[in-house]
Structure 1
Amino acid sequence: VWFGIAGQAGNRLSLEAEQVIFPGDRGQIRQKAADHALQLLLDRL
């Protein structure tokens, strides 16, 4: 469930922002964005 939420949050990030913050191919960008979103969620707990 947590990973699903993180994935959805990552998908909502601006694609342009992802490309700037997480350089790499789309697969790597999506994974790093999901990891980043999960970390943000954990930081808020």
Structure 2
Amino acid sequence: ISIIIPCHRVVGTNGSLTGYAGGIDKKVELLTLEHTDMSRFFAPKKGTAL
């Protein structure tokens, strides 16, 4: 059985918002539109993506 998870929903185990083809800003917008609690996530510093 294959499970499909939209890539904008994938986050690092430590809460980092890892790479998204549309950019981290777009990823945040999409998650916000889905009413995701963003307080537990953070954008990694440039060049430190997991």
TM bracket, shorter-chain basis: 0.3 to 0.5
Bigger fraction of residues in helix: 1
| Higher gyration radius (CA) | 2
Output the TM-score relative to the length of structure 2: 0.32
Between 1 and 2, higher relative CO (CA 8 Å, sep ≥ 6) is seen in 1
